[in-house]
Structure 1
Amino acid sequence: MSADRPKVGAIAVVLRDDAALMVQRGKEPNAGLWGFPGGHVEWGETALEAAVRELHEETGVTATAAGYLTCLDVVGRDAQDRITHHYLLAAVLCHYVAGSPVAADDAADAEWIPLSEIAAAGRPFSQNVDRVIAAALAHHKTAALA
């Protein structure tokens, strides 16, 4: 496989008690920023499976995948406008099962962050966190009406 192709990843979006489970990235890209737990989709693994696996590896939290929320293109560029990384991320809505978040793997920190803090941009968040939260909340609202 060529190095100039996007890498496929999955992020786990877990909401509980008006908070979202998030990790602070310990490595580039996005080191120091807060976002959803996630990582690469392995060969033969679905993005749904990858989101659940990466969630557990990065936080110790167990969840089940409920379905896809959206897809995100994350393209980074250097000062000369050259592409440094390109990820296609499947945002997966997950239902919390058990566990308290503890940072592991490549996460520097992990915690439940109140949705109000996310809306107020109370800390440095990765690009599209607000868009993914909005999709998750819309899904919950639609599910509650059904």
Structure 2
Amino acid sequence: MSSDHSPSPVGPVAATLAALIHQDRILLIRRANRPDAGRWAFPGGKIRAGETIMAAAHRELAEETGVQGQAMQIFDALDVFDREPSATPLAYSHFILIAVLFRWQQGEPQAGDDALDARWFSNAELDSLDVAHSFDVVRVARRALTLAANQDQAGQA
């Protein structure tokens, strides 16, 4: 069996990311921690033992932005491999990120736990951002914006 990555010191870790939409914009945070510290990404984090995907996404959204949203659906999943700088070249962490689409309910974004900043961005602004490449931010953000727009159109029909 061959692999693109060397064995992880620990099995994959499940985590969520919250793609929160409000008025055709998506909420992103500037990450305080690695991987991709200082770059724009989604609010999110590890799923705790006994916690559901949706509960973890709600918790992380509130902790990192102070905003509340209504979870609509799981819409994507991606692998993130992060090599620890002090580790051997073969050691890395493997995260499986589960993307949850949210609709804004209340609150103004404020950087909280694990975030340096929290702001709304339009689709057009995504290309000019210094985004966290390991999280495939632009692709996932555009998919979330499209899903939300399609749901809006279906609701108006």
Does the TM-score normalized on the shorter chain lie above 0.5?
Answer: yes
Alignment match of 1:39 (pick from 45, 68, 75): 45
Q: How does 1:91-110 map to 2 (within 5 A)?
A: 91-110=99-118
Aligned to 1:140: 148
> Is the contact made by 2:68 and 2:104 (CA closer than 8 Å) also made in structure 1?
yes
Letter in 2 for 1:67: Q
Q: Percent identity?
A: 36
Q: Distance in 1 between matches of 2:148 and 2:74?
A: 13
Is the alpha carbon distance of 1:134 and 1:5 closer, same or farther for their aligned partners in structure 2, counting shifts above 3 Å? same
> Is the contact made by 2:84 and 2:93 (CA closer than 8 Å) also made in structure 1?
no
Q: Distance in 1 between matches of 2:148 and 2:40?
A: 22
- Is the strand fraction higher in 1 or 2? 1
Report the Cα offset of residue 145 of structure 1.
3.4
Is the alpha carbon distance of 1:137 and 1:19 closer, same or farther for their aligned partners in structure 2, counting shifts above 3 Å? closer
The answer to whether structure 1 residue 113 and structure 2 residue 113 are counterparts is: no
Residues 20-71 of structure 1 show CA distances to partners (whole Å, capped at 9, x for unaligned) of 1010000111111101100111111111111111000001001111110100
Q: How does 1:1-146 map to 2 (within 5 A)?
A: 3-77=9-83, 81-118=89-126, 120=127, 122-127=128-133, 128-143=136-151, 144-145=153-154
Is the alpha carbon distance of 1:117 and 1:17 closer, same or farther for their aligned partners in structure 2, counting shifts above 3 Å? same
- Tell me how large the CA RMSD over aligned residues is: 2.0
Aligned to 2:4: none
Q: Counterpart of 1:95 in 2: which secondary structure?
A: strand
> Is the contact made by 1:75 and 1:83 (CA closer than 8 Å) also made in structure 2?
no
Q: Which runs of 5+ in 2 are unaligned?
A: 1-7
Letter in 2 for 1:30: D
The structure whose Rg is larger is 2
Paired residue total: 143
Moved over 6 A (4+): none
Letter in 1 for 2:28: M
